[in-house]
Structure 1
Amino acid sequence: MKTKVLAALAATMAVGATCAFAANPFVDVPSDSWAYKSVVELADAGIIQGVDGQYFQGNRNITRYEAAEMVAKAMAHMDKASVEQRALINKLADEYADELNNLGVRVSALENRVGNVKLTGDARIRYRYQSEGDKIKGTDQVVNEKQTNDNSWDYRVRVRANAQVNDRTKVTYGISTNSISFADNSTASNSDNNNIYTDLANVDYNFGGNNWDLLVGRYEYIMGGPRAYGFFYGDTFDGAQLKYQNDKFAATAGYGKFKEGPIGGYWTVDDNNYASAKTAYGELEGFFGGGRMAGSAVGVYYNNIMPKAELLGNDIALDNIDVWGAYASVNFGKWNALANYETYRDVIDNGNGSKDNADVWVGKLTYGAANFATPKSWDAWVEYLNADQFDLDGTFIGSTNGWRNDSLTSNVKSWGVGVDYTFAKNAQFQVMQSFATSAKKGDADPGEETRAQFVFVF
């Protein structure tokens, strides 16, 4: 890009009130030049420096690195820019994101600028296949076919609008499709799956020197926080959450209701009945070896889950479930080791008034890091899951943030491996496979699961 073209763009970024008597620092820009005023303003604002401090050289081709330096300096003055100027700076920052990161300027800092509205989203095309279903131990007899090739392929699209209201307040709104199977092309017969629904609608407010954060509305809730495995997960959750955090410590408390997926269906007697659940939760986390964003972490958490079933139009309160959990996520070089434990109390009714606890153990070892912004980046992982039976019909009481199908999340011991590879910027291929899976109780083992998916972010 020629300097005079960039200067024309940069002229719209001339931020701040420049002194009318600012001196022209460049000997090759005469006062009668069409670019004189913009060049002087940008030089006075510190956005451009020229060559050797004396020459502008308006006809010279500049490098992307030099262009990124100008964008970085313009970003530093965004608080004085108009909405239109901020929009242009945002576009330039996206274009030169890699160069800005090399300069130590985080493009994500733009999210803290007032007036910034940004659309993001993702699209996923997924293949899932579970081999042979439940098999009688020691035989080849299949009890239940869990997955067939006919309904193995599905897709999902999500769009998010992120708006910075002021320097402390963000508003997020998101819509999503359900996972829609390719097996049925009929919109009418597949109408339930084709519904587009609001999965995010929240206000995020920072205060107290940005150490305190209040989140209210519809948001994603992961038990234990984003660093934990996320065995209990609410992809559509209405609630309120208060969090205090610094570089060493974080404390979170919240309350809300699961709206989509996590509970519904697992407490039902037939198709006319469904369940919902509210929960109060708290989390304590400590960060070390690099701080809150990049370092290792340990955490403990508690949930009181209050399920309620609707039985033929009558609400029935089910017993509360107390959940205690702890995790440790430790980085060493390019490796990360995650260990997560959860115990669910008062889950199973044995028929004589007594109830058992259900425990979940997860261990995961990851090498590398697949970054959507960095083509050819990749990671590989192996994990082990040991989960007790959660309720009377053997299924988990909620959805998980993991990749396994329902029958591989309860009453099971199972290993898994996976690879994530960024084959182009903002485009990633992910593959996962379970192995050595066996049921903890009963005679039928679930079949192994294969999953592969393309994920695109925008």
Structure 2
Amino acid sequence: MKTKLATALMAALTISSACAFAANPFVDVPSDSWAYKSVVELADAGIIQGVDGQYFQGNRNITRYEAAEMVAKAMAHMDKASVEQRALINKLADEYADELNNLGVRVSALESRVGNVKLTGDARIRYRYQSNYTAPKMAIQDTANNYNRKDVTSGKKNDNSWDYRVRLRANAQVNDRTKVTYGLSTDSQSFASNEAANSQNNNPFTDMAKVDYNFGGNTWNLSVGRTDKYVMGNAYGLNYGDIFDRAELKYKNDNFAVTAGYGKFKMNGSDKSFAGVDKSIDGVKTGYGEIEGFFGNGSAIGVYYNDFTRAGGSYSKDSFRGDDLWGAYISYNFGSKWNLLANYENVSLSNGYKTIDGDDSANLWVAQLTYGKAIKSQPGSWSAWVEYLNVEDGAYLGGSTNSWRFDSAALNNIKSWGVGGSYVFAKNAQFNVYQSFASKWKDNKNNATDPEEQTRAEFVFSF
């Protein structure tokens, strides 16, 4: 195997046939061997080192990690290869993708191979359950000092607790600087027979369509188009974590990153969290910016800002009430397996809107402690976490969330704990489980019953 792989790698390298060969570094490769030329050139190029610096041992079977090391070094010579030769290196890189990742050749580096089109995707089967509950009337006042949100009864019943989603991704490297990404999604579809028969949202839709252009030595990136997930501040993402159309410019080096952009929130479906008004955040526009700092152990700290432009209309027509939002986060790694994430956000309300206590802004705090890391390519890897959520009434703006929590009527005016974990039971097959506990309404002047706890479990299969 070793000799054949060495020959294949040699064929993939563009090295002038007129160049002089270095002296044969291996005592067990005679000059009349059919592989002599390839072995010597590969050794001269630094692709192979042999055993003990003297022996090639061409009849010895090598491990996949040894093969991956040679492929990684061949990838470093991609700039010298022709289209056909790059295709061979790409084929070898795909074969040894997991080993290359473990060797530190990041997936992003593999995906940057020019001329490569890669198809990926995932399928999710999910269970969510929460008994019916009634949220207290703790919402926003309009300019007439009227309370516009009635008590909300919500929850997941047994007949619609199961759903599925399938997503497909196509990543095309156009040239050294430009990458195009396109994605399709079914969104979450309930297994309930009546909904499957009557839903108008069962057709797959485009949830990602963007072009990324790197320049300035890959420190600058301009991204234009639709992304499937916009997370404010790259932090916990309670306020939003869904489809977003935007233009974004980012500068990033090893120490810090600066991001600026402008875009529009999109939602597939409707949100009736506030006064029964549909699509509270759909169509809202925002200009945003973020500054982040990075540390040697993988830790990060950041501050961010969003300036919202409402979709239009009065409160009775448009329940979105945010004027602007700023936040900060810290993600700190300690030990070899521990991570602490802390996230704070402050939401300023639009003119004329105040909380039930007369405030014109609201805060939320999230803290999450995680042990371990579930890596989908490594069966047996796992993680476990515990989190605390504290959200003032009015701090959650509605719409989708990047949190595991569901039912946005239960994300405002709440204090809650949660636990969960992930386990990779087979390559690219992961099981996640989540559970809330000790949940209470933060401000409960109506003495409403505390919210029922939320349960979620899911299987995710990547391909």
Same fold, judged at TM 0.5 (above):
yes
CA distance in 2, matches of 1:248, 1:23: 41
Secondary structure of the corresponding residue to residue 260 of structure 1: coil
Conserved 8 A contact 2:207-2:227? yes
Structure 1: stretches of 5+ with no match in the other structure: 137-141
Name which of structure 1's ranges 157-166 and 343-352 shifts more when overlaid on structure 2.
343-352
Alignment of 1:301 with 2:278, yes or no, is no
The 3 A distance-change label for structure 1 pair 275 and 208 is closer
Q: Counterpart of 1:205?
A: 213
Q: Secondary structure in 2 aligned to 1:233?
A: coil
Q: Which structure 2 residues correspond to residues 341-380 of structure 1 after superposition, within 5 A?
A: 341-346=344-349, 349=353, 356-380=360-384
* Matched residues, number: 440
Q: Of residues 336, 340, 346 in structure 2, which corresponds to 1:337? A: 340
The CA deviation string for residues 223-250 of structure 1, in whole angstroms up to 9 with x for no partner, is 4432x11122242111111122222222
Q: Aligned equivalents of 1:268 and 1:310: distance in 2?
A: 15
Give the Cα separation in 2 of the matches to 1:129 and 1:397: 20
Q: What's 1:109 paired with?
A: 109
Match of 1:158 among 139, 146, 167: 167
1:131 aligns with 2:134: no
Match of 1:232 in 2: 239
Structure 1 residue 336, shift from structure 2 partner: 1.5
Query: Are 1:415 and 1:434, in contact at CA under 8 Å, matched by a contact in 2?
Result: yes
> In the alignment, which of 424, 449, 456 is matched to residue 454 of structure 2?
449
Equivalence for 2:405: 404
Residues of 1 paired with 2:279 and 2:224: CA distance? 32
Q: Name the CA shift for 1:319/1:61 in 2 (closer, same or farther; >3 Å).
A: closer
Partner of 1:139: none
Q: 2:251 aligns with which of 241, 244, 247?
A: 244
With a CA cutoff of 8 Å and minimum separation of 6, indicate the structure with the bigger relative contact order. Answer: 2
Residues 1:151 and 1:116: Cα distance change in structure 2 (over 3 Å)? same
Matches within 5 A, 1:262-301: 265=272, 275-288=282-295, 290=296, 294-301=297-304
1:305-335 C-alpha deviation (Å, 9 max, x unpaired): 1121579xxx979766111211122221122
CA distance in 2, matches of 1:351, 1:160: 42
Deviation digits for residues 363-389 of structure 1 (CA, Å, limit 9, x no counterpart)? 111112222222212111111111123
1:175 matches 2:180: no
Separation of aligned partners in 1, 2:347 and 2:392: 10
Cα shift readout 1:243-270 (whole Å, capped 9, x = no counterpart): 2222222221110111225985557866
- Deviations for 1:364-417, whole angstroms, at most 9, x for unmatched residues? 1111222222221211111111112339xxx74232100111233112111111
Task: Measure, in 2, the Cα distance between the counterparts of 1:341 and 1:351.
Answer: 19
The 3 A distance-change label for structure 1 pair 434 and 54 is: closer
Question: Which residue number in structure 2 is paired with residue 190 of structure 1?
Answer: 199
Aligned to 1:389: 393
User: CA–CA distance in 1 between the matches of 2:192 and 2:198?
Assistant: 11
2:274 and 2:319 in contact (8 A); partners too: no
Q: How many angstroms does 1:217 deviate by?
A: 1.1
In structure 1, the residue corresponding to 2:311 is in which secondary structure? strand
TM-score normalised per structure 2: 0.83
Alignment map for 1:58-137 (pairs within 5 Å)? 58-101=58-101, 103-106=103-106, 108-134=108-134
1:326 aligned partner, one-letter code: A
Mapped to 2, the partners of 1:319 and 1:132 lie a distance apart of 26
The residue matched to 1:88 in structure 2 has which SS?
Answer: helix
Cα distance change, pair 246–27 in 1 and its aligned pair in 2 (3 A):
closer
Which one-letter code corresponds to 1:453 in the other structure? E
- 1:31-81 superposed Cα distances (whole Å, 9 cap, x missing partner): 776656655554554434555666655443233333223212211211222
Letter in 2 for 1:216: V
Amino acid at match of 2:133: G
Is the Cα–Cα contact under 8 Å of residues 263 and 277 in structure 1 kept in the other structure?
Answer: no
Match of 1:18, as an amino acid? S
Distance in 1 (CA, whole Å) between partners of 2:245 and 2:344 is 26
1:3–1:62: 8 Å Cα contact kept in structure 2?
yes
Secondary structure of 1:146's match? Answer: strand
**Separation in 2 of the partners of 1:172 and 1:412?**
38
* In structure 1, C-alpha distance between the alignment counterparts of 2:371 and 2:261, rounded to whole Å: 33
Contact 1:233 1:262 in 2 (8 A): no
Aligned-pair identity in percent equals 63
- Alignment gaps of 5+ in structure 2: 137-150
Q: CA deviation at 1:100?
A: 3.6
**Residues 108 and 318 of structure 1: CA distance in aligned 2, closer, same or farther (over 3 Å):** closer
SS at 2:412's partner residue?
coil
Preserved CA contact (<8 Å) 1:376 1:422: yes
Shift of 1:130: 0.7
Find the aligned partners of 1:104 and 1:67 in 2 and give their Cα distance.
14
Amino acid aligned to 1:401 = N
Q: Residues of 2 paired with 1:252 and 1:39: CA distance?
A: 47
1:50 to 1:457, Cα distance in 2 relative to 1, 3 A: same
- Structure with the higher strand share, 1 or 2: 1
Contact kept? 2:284, 2:311, Cα under 8 Å: yes
